Amino acid sequence: MVQMNLDPAGVGCYVGSHRSRPKGQTLKKWFSIFCFALGALFAGQAQAAQAVDFSFTDTKGKSVRLSDYKGKWVLVNFWAPWCPRCKMEFPELNDLDARNDFVVIGVAMDYGIDEGSVYSTIQRYNLRFPQIIGGNRRDPNSPALQVGPVDFYPTSYLYAPNGEIVMFVPGIISKQKIVAFTEQYVPPAGTTVAGALPAAAAAKTGVQKATLRKSAKPDSSKKKATTVY
* Assessment of whether the complete model's pTM goes beyond 0.75: no
What pLDDT, in 10s, does the model give residues 202-228?
A: 333 333 333 222 333 434 444 333 333
- Which pLDDT does position 113 carry in this prediction? 72
* Whole-Å CA distances, 220 to 148, 217, 223: 34, 9, 8
34 three-class SS: helix
Query: Please, what CATH class does the domain formed by 2-184 belong to?
Result: alpha beta
- Which pLDDT does position 85 carry in this prediction? 94
Distance between CA atoms of residues 183 and 27, nearest Å: 29
Name the stretches of the chain with pLDDT < 50: 8-9, 17-47, 194-229
- Which pLDDT does position 178 carry in this prediction? 95
- How crowded is residue 84: how many other Cβ atoms within 10 Å of its Cβ? 13
- Which pLDDT does position 152 carry in this prediction? 87
